[in-house]
Amino acid sequence: MKSLTNILLVAPILLPFLSAIIMLSAWKKIKFQRVMNLFASGVAVMASLAIMQKVRADGILVLHVGGWQAPFGISIVIDLLSAIMVVITAVIAFVTAIYSIHTIDPEREAFGFYPLLQFLLMGINGAFITGDLFNLYVWFEVMLISSFVLIALGGRKDQLEGAIKYVTLNLLASAIFLAAAGIIYGLAGTLNMADLARKLPLLNNDTMLNLVSVMFLISFGIKSALFPFFFWLPASYHTPPAAVSAIFAGLLTKVGVYALIRVFTLIFTHDVNFTHTVLLVLAGLTMLSGVLGAATQMDFRRILSFHIISQIGYMIMGLALNSPLALAGGIFYIMHHVIVKTNLFFVSGMVNKFEGSYRLKSLGGVFKASPVLSLLFFIPAMSLAGIPPLSGFWAKFTVAKAGFDLEQYFIVGVSLLVGALTLYSMTKIWNEVFWKDKPDSIQNNNTKESWSSVKLYLPLAILSLITIIIGFNAEPFLNLAINAAHQLLNPQEYIKIVLGS
Amino acid sequence: MIVSVILKTATRYLIPLMLVFSFFLLLRGHNEPGGGFVGGLVAASAYALFAIANGVKPTQQMLRVKPLSLIVSGLLIAVLSGFAGIVYYGVFMKAFWFETKFPVIGKIGTPLIFDMGVYLLVLGISLKIIFSLFEEDEQ
């Protein structure tokens, strides 16, 4: 029984890994890879739900890999936040698996799209469940290397341009992360997060800790596209195929946000006045610059990319306000945002597939061509803007309520303004792509049948349904987020369970 | 491509030495400098040397297996070695050692098997890169 749990705890890493190996061994059999990808993602969903169930029942789960006890070996630690992230990852991976079957072109499939996707998931999951700072770095690298290939796969000119920006900035972030991990190892002599949380307060060296915490902030800030490090994101996310940019948009920046939440609730709590004020200022600027950037864009996916940035600001705002409700709002925001943003990128890919463009000027008349797709855009778009009763409303409401409770009126004002501007961008897409007539100059070489293919709508419908479910039945999700926030803000339990004393 | 006779002849004697040395590094790696990664690199450099002296096609024929199969088997061996720990101790990747000592090799356990996986993986990936570069060059 015990060993079964132990296997379950490493399942988020092992499942994608094993399935990627099997797919590599069947390099030429594309059909088999598709089925395998779908199957592995389906199993991963079930495994992640089992983990979630177990964490809710038994509290924080720990596995000392290789049998080496906590500060010496690498521990896998799954608390509620990790479990939430693993479940979301599995769900997104599953819908992307369905979506990519019909949208990824044969050349990309032949060059290992599916194994790479699974390696990417392994990296993401690994980052979510590790309890060791250096191990976190390693998983970041696993994730980044797969994402480098995925973003450059296909090798079109604009794609390589985006890939170069993406790779350069992320390598820089990794280097800073590594340097910071080195410094912190020199300070405390350990890299186990729980052990760090115990030892760092004993150092009485706040100046040095502030310095290291800022290094972590910069490194994770680059990865999660915080102000002022966000410019690589809109420069690269619109170049790969829609399935890839959807999973990037949904998950990759959230790994950075997760790392920020983890590090700034567990390890760097020595000088909250300094660190969390910096975070709050950055959160406000991130929200504003993202949404204003989106207002000037005229490309479907670029608008969405800029909105990732502004939404990241809300999550960091939740973290920076540093109250249980605010943090819960931030976590709830992640749940909502991953689902909605992936869905919107899927829609953009569908529009491109049938209309052959991402540029708003050359699109139009999609509402007439496919009311279903318009509905499937309308739901996540309104959710993103925070219209009740969809999930985005509760996410924004929770964060704003926490801000009011703490009397941080200015940042709440900013967040509400950003919400209104988000609505402006979504309306712009709606008007240009769906509502207005198709420009006369653009030839429509599209056949009617293709719009009515049900299987293409399936992943979008699943995600829209989840958005609606979270919206109308927000309480259990919110309670989950609140419990996760309580766990994060009371790290004694985490430390005790990992170190065992 | 002009290749000197000296290099060709020397390669014939160097390759066995390099391969033996790579095994030596692999076996030594548990407690001393060495291990699967370095061993794999040395083995790959042996094949790279052969490719420089004799061209890519003969190297591929000598290797018999494709680099991709090396990558796959290396990954698989490394992962499966972790499962022995689950079977015997219920903990993933916990080291399982045979009691008896073997001559020359010493103690054998799952860490060695894991290292062999790493060896094959590094060898496979390096050769994949080297072969691709050579083939690009020939075109």
pLDDT score of B2: 65
Residues of A in contact with B79 (CB under 8 A): 14, 17-18, 21
For A79-109, write each residue's pLDDT tens digit: 999 999 999 999 999 999 999 888 888 888 8
User: What is the pLDDT tens value at each position of chain B, 139 positions in all?
Assistant: 567 889 889 998 999 999 999 999 998 887 788 888 999 999 999 999 999 888 888 888 988 899 999 999 999 999 998 888 888 887 888 888 887 777 777 778 888 889 999 999 999 999 999 999 988 877 7
Most confident range, picked from A1-5, A226-230, A234-238, B75-79: B75-79
Which H or E element spans position A78? strand A75-78
pLDDT score of A443: 60
Asked whether the beta carbons of A313 and A284 are under 8 A apart, the reply is yes
Residues of B in contact with A18 (CB under 8 A): 79
Residues of A in contact with B69 (CB under 8 A): 25
CA distance A291 to A287: 6
Instruction: Say how many CA atoms lie within 13 Å of A374 toward its Cβ.
Output: 16
pLDDT score of A179: 95
Instruction: Please give, rounded to a whole number of angstroms, the shortest distance from the CA of A18 to a CA of chain B.
Output: 8
CA-based nearest residue in chain B for residue A19: B76
Asked whether the beta carbons of B95 and B109 are under 8 A apart, the reply is yes
ipTM: 0.88
3-state secondary structure at position A239? coil
pLDDT exceeding 70 applies to what percent of chain A? 97
The helix-helix angle for A454-472 and A324-355 (nearest 10°) equals 160
Contact A24 B93 (CB under 8 A): no
Residues of B in contact with A2 (CB under 8 A): 90
- Peptide bond before residue A240 is cis, with ω within 30 degrees of 0: no
Asked whether the beta carbons of B49 and B18 are under 8 A apart, the reply is yes
Contact B79 A6 (CB under 8 A): no
CA distance A412 to A321: 11
User: Residue A130 carries which DSSP code?
Assistant: B
Instruction: Please give, rounded to a whole number of angstroms, the shortest distance from the CA of B92 to a CA of chain A.
Output: 6
- Provide DSSP, A308-373: HHHHHHHHHHHHHH-SHHHHHHHHHHHHHHHHHHHHHHHHHHHHHHHH---BGGG---HHHH-HHH
- The secondary structure of B63-84, three-state, reads HCCCHHHHHHHHHHHHHHHHHH
Asked whether the beta carbons of A275 and A213 are under 8 A apart, the reply is yes
Strands A75-78 and A61-64: antiparallel
CB atoms within 10 A of CB A43: 15
Best probe of the B interface among A5, A6, A63, A146, by most B CBs < 10 A, is A6
Residues of A in contact with B71 (CB under 8 A): 24
For A144-195, write each residue's pLDDT tens digit: 999 999 988 887 888 888 889 889 999 999 999 999 999 999 998 899 999 9
Strands (E), A95-164: none
CA distance A450 to A454: 9
CA-based nearest residue in chain A for residue B76: A21
CB atoms within 10 A of CB B13: 9
Burial per residue of A81-98, b for 16 or more beta-carbon CB atoms within 10 angstroms, e otherwise: bbbbbbbbbbbbbbbbbb
Start-to-end C-alpha separation, chain A: 24
3-state secondary structure at position A77? strand
User: Residue A62 carries which DSSP code?
Assistant: E
Mean pLDDT value across residues A210-218: 93
Q: CB under 8 Å to A144, separation ≥6 — which residues? A: A123, A170, A171, A174
Contact A7 B72 (CB under 8 A): no
Every domain of chain A and the residues it spans: 2-499
Q: Is B125 on the interface with A (CB under 8 A)?
A: no
For A34-45, write each residue's pLDDT tens digit: 999 999 999 999
Which H or E element spans position A204? none
Q: Is A18 on the interface with B (CB under 8 A)?
A: yes
| Amino acid identity for residue B3 in this structure | V
pLDDT score of A1: 56
Residues of A in contact with B85 (CB under 8 A): 66-67
Tokens of A46: 């079930």
For A286-295, write each residue's pLDDT tens digit: 999 999 999 8
Instruction: Please give, rounded to a whole number of angstroms, the shortest distance from the CA of B15 to a CA of chain A.
Output: 28
Is residue A478 predicted with pLDDT exceeding 60?
yes
Q: Is B86 on the interface with A (CB under 8 A)?
A: yes
Asked whether the beta carbons of A16 and A40 are under 8 A apart, the reply is yes
From the centroid of its chain, how far is CA B19?
9
Best probe of the A interface among B65, B69, B70, B72, by most A CBs < 10 A, is B72
Nearest to B94 among A17, A21, A67 (CB): A67
- Tell which B residues from 56 to 75 touch A, by Cβ distance under 8 Å: 68-69, 71-72, 75
Every domain of chain B and the residues it spans: 5-138
CA distance B11 to A499: 54
Contact A65 B92 (CB under 8 A): yes
For B46-66, write each residue's pLDDT tens digit: 999 999 888 888 888 988 899
